Structure 1
Amino acid sequence: MTNKKPAKTGNSASPQTNSAQKSRPQNNRAQNSRTSNNRAQTNNRAQSSHTQKSNAAASGSSLMPLLLVVIFLAGLIGAAQQHMLPYGIAGMYLTLSLLTFIAYAIDKSAAKRGKWRTKESTLHLLALMGGWPGALFAQNVLRHKSVKASFRNVFWLTVVANLAGLGYGIKTGAVDMFI
């Protein structure tokens, strides 16, 4: 007795093929389109995920500077209430912070409209004089001047210089002139 295997032809169904595969016509173009769409969706998800991670990282990183602003201003007000610091100093920081925030908002608006911009040196001068809490708040809330590394480096130098000046003024008693 000879065992003969059935010959395989393109039209005959093999034992592994199920009935759903037999009844479903294979359309390569539709399958390629689905594959392309799946790739595009995967790429869009990856980009969206990257954007969400960037936004999450940005919001996570923006939480710390905002917390710094709140703690610093609350500390100034608390020190003034405890008569450790003149109210004028706290008022100066609050006023300059508000003015600096407004300057950033105006500059952001001008940038969007393609109009005349505020000089970076003006924004740095405002931060150096005591408006850095407002500048930091504006950078994080308005998302303005928050990416350019050279600007941010100079900005942080103005923050350090301002705080050093405040510390020196407190230590030497020079801030008492504002009483």
Structure 2
Amino acid sequence: MLINGITFTLFALDKNFAINGRRRIPERWLLIYSLFFGWLGGLVAQQLFRHKTHKQPFKSLFFLTIFVDCVAVTLYLSRGALFH
């Protein structure tokens, strides 16, 4: 929950910075936090603030973080089944 809150906040801050012409949060940090299971917070923030919903390649990389996390969780949960 904490990482999702942080990711949500980073997306919200970046949107605010973009609106006010301030220095932005690097996309790599948004993606790193998303990759470490913060993607749900990022996804909610994207939809709520309409931020980075169309920008490529960010959008593709963001959805890749979701895919990687889902694969990681699936492998973790099925680890016993893989060895039987």
Scaled by the length of structure 2, the TM-score of the pair is: 0.88
Measured against aligned partners, the alpha-carbon deviations of 1:127-170 in whole angstroms (never above 9, x if no partner) come to 11001011110110011111113111011111000111111122
Give the superposed CA RMSD: 1.1
Partner of 1:150: 57
1:171 lines up with 2:78 in the alignment:
yes
1:160 lines up with 2:74 in the alignment:
no
CA distance in 2 between partners of 1:156 and 1:166 (Å)? 15
Measured against aligned partners, the alpha-carbon deviations of 1:56-76 in whole angstroms (never above 9, x if no partner) come to xxxxxxxxxxxxxxxxxxxxx
Greater Rg, structure 1 or structure 2? 1
Structure 1's consecutive aligned runs of 4 or more residues displaced over 4 angstroms after TM superposition are none
Q: One-letter code of the match for 1:157?
A: L
1:106 lines up with 2:9 in the alignment:
no
Q: Please show how residues 25-174 of structure 1 align to structure 2 within 5 Å.
A: 94-172=1-79
Q: Which residues of structure 2 form unaligned runs of 5+?
A: none
RCO higher in structure (CA 8 A, sep ≥6): 2
**Structure 1 residue 95: deviation in Å?**
1.5
SS at 1:114 equivalent = coil
